[in-house]
């Protein structure tokens, strides 16, 4: 017994005699699953961080574990029922009215914007103020129609927001004012 203690003491003595002051703190604790950490209390935390970094919960499988980040987040935020109803709509490829209207307005605006840009280039790229005055008659009706559709989209977004937990499924559409939208379209031209 004395020999085993003597060997143990000598190993401990060798360890501490070769370390400079502050050496253990500088080197930290090397753990095969956590890497090098500064203190014993941080080993468990470092192991958890490394586990999450390496995939963590995504690697868990089995019949009892069904991970759904969106559902978990919705439940944590207190809107689990809203998530369930939106998921049912999405799974059945049904879009809320505000989304349908927003997509329509976006498509029509992209088409009109390209037409405005082409018309401006065909006229020889006149100054912006002069072009707005000349193009007013040509684009007024279509921009007014887009403005009405934008208002209907915003109303639907408010209604859908109330149906689906207080947040609108789409961004509100900015109003369509002739001069502002023509300037917007022409600013995108190189």
In this prediction, residue 20 carries a pLDDT of 47
**Do 170 and 98 touch, CB atoms closer than 8 A?**
yes
Residue (of 108, 120, 169) closest to 144 by Cα position: 108
- The pLDDT, as a whole number, for residue 12 is 45
The pLDDT value recorded for residue 118 is: 94
Question: In the chain, which stretches have pLDDT less than 50?
Answer: 1-28
pLDDT of residue 151: 95
Q: What is the pLDDT of residue 137?
A: 85
The predicted pLDDT at position 101 comes to 93
Which pLDDT score is estimated for 25?
43
Cα 44 vs. chain centroid, distance in angstroms? 30
What local confidence, expressed as pLDDT, does residue 121 receive?
A: 92
Instruction: Using DSSP, state whether 186 is helix, strand or coil.
Output: helix
Q: Considering only CA atoms, give the Rg of the chain.
A: 33
**Comparing C-alpha atoms, which of 163, 160, 53, 173 is closest to residue 98?**
160
For 170, counting Cβ atoms within 10 Å of its Cβ (0-12 exposed, 13-18 middle, 19+ buried), the class is buried
pLDDT digits (tens, 9 = 90+) for 59-70: 666 665 566 666
DSSP per-residue letters across 105-145:
HHHHHHHHHHHHHHHHHHTT---HHHHHHHHHHHHHHHHHH
Q: What pTM does this model have?
A: 0.55
What secondary structure letter does DSSP report for 168? -
The residue among 123, 92, 106, 77 whose CA lies nearest residue 173 is 106
Instruction: Print burial letters for 31-58: b (CB count within 10 Å at least 16), e (below 16).
Output: beebeebeeeeebeebbeeeeeeeeeee
| Torsion (CA) 157, 159, 163, 166 in degrees, nearest 10 | 60
């Amino acid at each position: 017994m004395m020999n085993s203690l003597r060997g143990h003491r000598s190993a401990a003595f060798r360890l501490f005699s070769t370390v400079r002051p502050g050496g253990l703190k500088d080197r930290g604790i090397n753990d095969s699953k956590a890497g090098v950490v500064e203190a014993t209390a941080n080993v468990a935390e470092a192991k958890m961080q490394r586990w999450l970094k390496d995939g963590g919960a995504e690697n868990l499988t089995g019949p009892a574990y069904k991970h759904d980040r969106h559902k978990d987040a919705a439940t944590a935020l207190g809107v689990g029922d809203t998530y369930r109803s939106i998921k049912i709509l999405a799974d059945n490829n049904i879009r809320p009215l505000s989304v349908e209207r927003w997509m329509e307005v976006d498509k029509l605006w992209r088409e009109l914007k390209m037409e405005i840009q082409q018309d401006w280039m065909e006229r020889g790229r006149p100054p912006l103020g002069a072009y707005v005055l000349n193009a007013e008659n040509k684009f007024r009706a279509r921009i007014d129609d887009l403005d009405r559709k934008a208002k209907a989209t915003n109303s639907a977004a408010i209604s859908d927001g109330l149906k689906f937990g207080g947040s609108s499924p789409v961004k509100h559409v900015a109003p369509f004012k002739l001069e502002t939208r023509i300037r917007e379209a022409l600013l995108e031209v190189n």
